Structure 1
Amino acid sequence: MADFGALSSLGLGSNVLNYDVIEKLRQADEARMLAPIDRRLESVEGKKSELTTITTLTSTLKSTVLDLADGVIFAKRSVQVSGETVSAEVKDGVAPQDLAITVNTLAKRDIWQSRGFTDEASAVVDRDTTMTLSLNGIDYSLDVSAGTTLSQLRDMLNEKGAGNFQASILNVGGSTPYTLVLKSTETGADQAISVTYDDGDTNTGDDDFLSLSHVQTATDADFTYNGIEITRASNTVEDLVPGLTLHLLKEDATATTNISIKQDIEGIADTVAEFIDAYNAWYSEMTNATKYDPETHTAGIFQGDNTINSLKYEVARALNAVTEDGKGLASFGMDITKDGIVTFDRTAFVEALKNDPESVEKTLVGSDASPGVFKTINQTLATATDSDHGSLALLDTQLSDRMTRLEKERERTLAYLDARYNTMAQRFAAYDEMIASFNASFQSLQQMIDAQVAAAKK
């Protein structure tokens, strides 16, 4: 109710024109003018809330159908390895095939070990010497000064090697336990290291002051692939079959590891199951929002709405589509009940993929010219969920605009009622004052009459 300010004594003069009268009149006007607007606002707010739920479920449905629609899921691959000499990784899209691998020799690094020294601070050379390491056609020369310690030489080698070879100190025990270990960083025959020395003295010769001995010789991996002999510099082989990575683990010329690359049928089935769960949740929500019960005469909040009904119809129609050869979802373990819910027979679907994967993909994916079930659904949902021009976004804009108009209409109506009843209060106050004046005059006259009557009786 409006604030009538100083009119706090309203009704005192007349005992009739008071706030209760104004309040009852205003309540009647609000019921007639504001209540219909509030009901429309409540309806729009309810639709916006339900539309948010529908939009979220539609986006979820679209995300689950995307991989199915573009056929990516059908390129998923699994790899099975039988044996211990090789492990394997496979990327999606690799052609299904079987491989037999026998590892004769693993690729190895070149490893050298020096003689023993008392400690890491032991001097390794007593005169200035140039030490040259050759690896893969590149020479690495170090100027080793007289008195250079074992640890200093290790650091010099690692700096010069720049990651192509590595030096470390190993404690092997005994009276001279500290030994320098020099090894190539990579494997392969071309990683063999050779070491030469030049102390500048042609009379003494160029002594190997480290007394290096070969611990392991750099070799290429040697293995057979389906009976064909293959060599590689690394034990990780990525160029044999595009998309397949082999890891050679153990030498055993008598053992064959079998590798089978197959379509990831179980992964595809999982994705289809996720779609069906998302679809059933979406369809149930859409049905509740658009239904009408003739017995109870109750309707869903979007009953009769063309946007929601059309989207529901288009997706349901795509699910029921069949190809020219009469195949549809039911051909691959997916049935639609009379209530529109999709059931999923996983076993039947897996068997269909094993027996005729091309037919499954043709029916469910199809092509741009002849889209299958999932491609059609994806196209329909993409149109509906477009953030700028999608049907759901446009409906949300319409509801927001309608709510804005109703809120402004309510503000105008409320302002009108405030002004009206403020004016009415002012008028009631004026009338009340007039009545109070009349009452006072009447009482004065009544007193005069009563006095005259009393005097006459005497």
Structure 2
Amino acid sequence: MADLGILSSLGAGSNGVLSYDVIDKLKKADEDMMVKPLEDKLDLLKKKESALSQFITIGSTVKTDILDLADGTLFAKVNTTVNGSSVSVTANDGVEPQSFDINVSQLAQNDVYQSKGYASTDSLINGSGTSQDITIGTGGTQTTISIPAGATLQDLKDAINNANAGVTASIIDTGIGDDPYKLVLKANETGKDNYIEFNYSGIDDLGLNATNYTSATYSSDTDLVNNSGSDQTFNIDVNGTTYSMNVADGTTVSDFINALNSGDLKDSEGNSLKVNASYNSDTGAINFGLQAIGDISITDTGLTTNFNDNTDFTNSNRLQTAQDSVFTYNGVQVERSSNTVDDLITGVTINLESEGDSTVDITSNVDDMTKAIQKFVADYNQMISNLQSLTAYDKDTGNVGLFQGDSDFTMLENRFSNDIFGVVMSNQTTATDLNGNQYTTTSVFTAADVGFSMDKTGMISFDADKFKEAYNKDPDLTNRLFGDMFTRLKTDFDTNITGDKSNLNLLDQEIKGEEDRYHDRIDAMNKYLETKYNIMAKQFAAYDEMINKLNVQSQTLQQTIEQAIAAKK
């Protein structure tokens, strides 16, 4: 009870009749009759809320299992196995299971060149005194770069890399001799069409062009290079740009060399091709080099020079020649510009690693599917067991589940089992009659055909071997069955358990609201009883004081009477 202060002597006047003990007993009787039923109801609501929360949590776990199976992603997963080291293979989900053989006979390569040696990275490469244009690129696409007067080897490297022309330049310190620094050019892409094209005739010779062009032999430099009886044209085509000069009838070897060195070879815009030609008296041949690499051809038809048949086109400074990859796919020869092949089989990327044979197997990830289904079954059975406890009624013991008779719960088990076992797929197959004639027959395909069953207690089981047999026989039909089955389950779970507006979430909100209302009622009732018995205590105190006064008066009167009687004796 509340502290009543001055009422601490309650019961003194009434000899304990009007005491706190009497008030407490009266209050306890009122609490048992008016508060205890509310508290019992609140306790029941809290038990329901806890049980409901636990059930929703279990249902959420099952919902996660359902999502893994409903969208078909798990069924689309594949495993890739490679027997051999010539390739590595990745396959996207959904790729049709298959096997194939790959025999790699040639890997794709980048084009790579090295320059002659230089004393340092600051060695001069443009000593012309003026800015010079050079062109560089791959696969027929070239970029023009301006190289300023006084540019160094380092400047050239940086200019090439900044041009983003499909070629990467680097400088390597070989550590060999007095000129250890070399410029290395590497095409960014592999493939025979991605060869490097570089015309640097405007700057100093980098030594990239190790090819020395050699003519037919002559007895002396007075021999004729044109004895055809008419003027002829001499052409050198450098990476798509043609340089031409007229060679008159009767032109000698000496005249021809002088014309080359004088810049008579010009393109359509009048630009000269730098050629350093000479006559080798020991061999009798005309020799010259070009400050260019790439797609270079000479046309000397009508002349006696015949450069094409007498020149060794091997370039010792070409460290690696651009080439395509070559391989067979199931015996069919295939060529690609890259070692990464992603356009041969849809969804499959084949990385060529080395020459040799490999066998590739792409298979369905049945084991992962089986594990996911087994997890669903275990979680589902735990949920159903919990559901049955919440809705149970034992007539012998009288035990009743917290949600026995609640339609939000009682209909769930039948609904979910119907989602699983109520799906029926139509399956057309070919059969043979007794006469050997084939005909088409239609059969049904259900959860039982993929290994599901349910016992009389409502628990489901799963036969993994039966599932694998059905999946391997007809993966598409199995996928469609699971898709329909678990999509229906997903919808019912969202509607009844896991959705924000699901029946059980709304029920949970309703229970919490009712709890709040019972808390308010209990608080109000306790305040009412507190006030009631505070008033009663004050009333008892007033009565007790009156009784005490009467007792005092009675005692005084009694003493007076006794004194009067004593006086008469």
TM-score by length of 2: 0.72
How many residues align structurally? 447
Letter in 2 for 1:352: A
Letter in 2 for 1:444: T
Quick check: 2:113–2:317 contact (8 Å CA) kept in 1? Answer: yes
Q: CA deviation at 1:41?
A: 0.7
Q: Which has the higher strand share?
A: 2
Q: CA deviation at 1:49?
A: 0.9
Pairing of 1:338-417 with structure 2 (within 5 A): 338-365=456-483, 371=484, 373-385=485-497, 387-417=499-529
Q: Does 1:424 align with 2:536?
A: yes
Quick check: 2:136–2:199 contact (8 Å CA) kept in 1? Answer: yes
Letter in 2 for 1:364: F
Give the RMSD, CA atoms, in angstroms: 2.8
Q: Secondary structure at the match of 2:397?
A: coil
- Which moved further from structure 2: 240-249 or 74-83? 74-83
Q: Which residue of 2 aligns with 1:237?
A: 341
Measure, in 2, the Cα distance between the counterparts of 1:316 and 1:157.
70
Pairing of 1:73-84 with structure 2 (within 5 A): 73-84=74-85
Q: CA deviation at 1:452?
A: 2.7
Q: Secondary structure at the match of 1:142?
A: strand
Q: Which residue of 2 aligns with 1:167?
A: 169
Q: Which residue of 2 aligns with 1:158?
A: 161
Question: Given the superposition, is the C-alpha separation of residues 68 and 448 from structure 1 closer, same or farther in structure 2, using an over 3 Å criterion?
Answer: same
Pairing of 1:135-214 with structure 2 (within 5 A): 135-161=138-164, 164-175=166-177, 176-199=179-202, 205=274, 208=291, 213-214=317-318
Cα deviation digits, residues 341-361 of structure 1 (max 9, x gap): 223332232222223334533
Q: Does 1:224 align with 2:342?
A: no
Q: Which residue of 1 aligns with 2:136?
A: 133
Q: CA deviation at 1:146?
A: 4.9
Measure, in 1, the Cα distance between the counterparts of 2:153 and 2:332.
47
1:336 to 433, 438, 454: 454
Letter in 1 for 2:198: V
Q: Secondary structure at the match of 2:408?
A: helix
- Which moved further from structure 2: 145-154 or 289-298? 145-154
Q: CA deviation at 1:106?
A: 2.0
Q: Secondary structure at the match of 1:107?
A: coil
Question: Given the superposition, is the C-alpha separation of residues 351 and 209 from structure 1 closer, same or farther in structure 2, using an over 3 Å criterion?
Answer: closer
Structure 1 gaps, min length 5: 366-370
Q: Which residue of 2 aligns with 1:98?
A: 99
Q: Which residue of 1 aligns with 2:9?
A: 9
Quick check: 2:63–2:498 contact (8 Å CA) kept in 1? Answer: no
Measure, in 1, the Cα distance between the counterparts of 2:187 and 2:6.
99
Q: Which residue of 1 aligns with 2:233?
A: none
Larger radius of gyration: 2
Quick check: 1:11–1:429 contact (8 Å CA) kept in 2? Answer: yes
Measure, in 1, the Cα distance between the counterparts of 2:292 and 2:192.
26
Letter in 2 for 1:311: L
Q: Which residue of 2 aligns with 1:85?
A: 86
Q: Which has the higher helix share?
A: 1
Q: Secondary structure at the match of 1:189?
A: coil
Quick check: 1:318–1:377 contact (8 Å CA) kept in 2? Answer: yes
Quick check: 2:327–2:334 contact (8 Å CA) kept in 1? Answer: yes
Measure, in 2, the Cα distance between the counterparts of 1:6 and 1:122.
111
Quick check: 2:201–2:292 contact (8 Å CA) kept in 1? Answer: no
Q: Which residue of 2 aligns with 1:368?
A: none
Q: Which residue of 1 aligns with 2:412?
A: 311
Question: Given the superposition, is the C-alpha separation of residues 194 and 360 from structure 1 closer, same or farther in structure 2, using an over 3 Å criterion?
Answer: closer
Q: Does 1:452 align with 2:564?
A: yes
Question: Given the superposition, is the C-alpha separation of residues 3 and 152 from structure 1 closer, same or farther in structure 2, using an over 3 Å criterion?
Answer: farther
Letter in 2 for 1:150: L
- Which moved further from structure 2: 43-52 or 420-429? 420-429
Q: CA deviation at 1:363?
A: 4.0
Quick check: 2:81–2:361 contact (8 Å CA) kept in 1? Answer: yes
Q: Which residue of 2 aligns with 1:277?
A: 378
Cα deviation digits, residues 242-292 of structure 1 (max 9, x gap): 21111111234xx3x332333222222122112112212211211222223
Cα deviation digits, residues 181-215 of structure 1 (max 9, x gap): 22122222332212112438986947749999211
Cα deviation digits, residues 308-341 of structure 1 (max 9, x gap): 1111221133334363746543433333233322
Quick check: 2:59–2:498 contact (8 Å CA) kept in 1? Answer: no
TM-score by length of 1: 0.88
Letter in 2 for 1:337: D
Q: Which residue of 1 aligns with 2:402?
A: 301
Q: CA deviation at 1:141?
A: 3.1
Q: Secondary structure at the match of 2:103?
A: strand
Measure, in 2, the Cα distance between the counterparts of 1:350 and 1:417.
70
Measure, in 1, the Cα distance between the counterparts of 2:404 and 2:512.
19
Q: CA deviation at 1:406?
A: 1.5
Measure, in 2, the Cα distance between the counterparts of 1:203 and 1:273.
86
- Which moved further from structure 2: 126-135 or 45-54? 126-135
- Which moved further from structure 2: 199-208 or 343-352? 199-208
Measure, in 1, the Cα distance between the counterparts of 2:476 and 2:500.
37
- Which moved further from structure 2: 298-307 or 335-344? 335-344
Q: CA deviation at 1:158?
A: 1.8
Measure, in 2, the Cα distance between the counterparts of 1:10 and 1:34.
26
Question: Given the superposition, is the C-alpha separation of residues 208 and 444 from structure 1 closer, same or farther in structure 2, using an over 3 Å criterion?
Answer: farther
Q: Which residue of 2 aligns with 1:267?
A: 368
Quick check: 1:124–1:209 contact (8 Å CA) kept in 2? Answer: no
Quick check: 2:325–2:337 contact (8 Å CA) kept in 1? Answer: yes
Question: Given the superposition, is the C-alpha separation of residues 203 and 144 from structure 1 closer, same or farther in structure 2, using an over 3 Å criterion?
Answer: farther
Q: Secondary structure at the match of 2:8?
A: coil
Quick check: 1:125–1:147 contact (8 Å CA) kept in 2? Answer: yes
Identical positions, percent: 37
Quick check: 1:115–1:212 contact (8 Å CA) kept in 2? Answer: no
Structure 2 gaps, min length 5: 205-260, 264-273, 276-289, 294-314, 427-442
Measure, in 2, the Cα distance between the counterparts of 1:283 and 1:235.
55
Question: Given the superposition, is the C-alpha separation of residues 191 and 12 from structure 1 closer, same or farther in structure 2, using an over 3 Å criterion?
Answer: farther
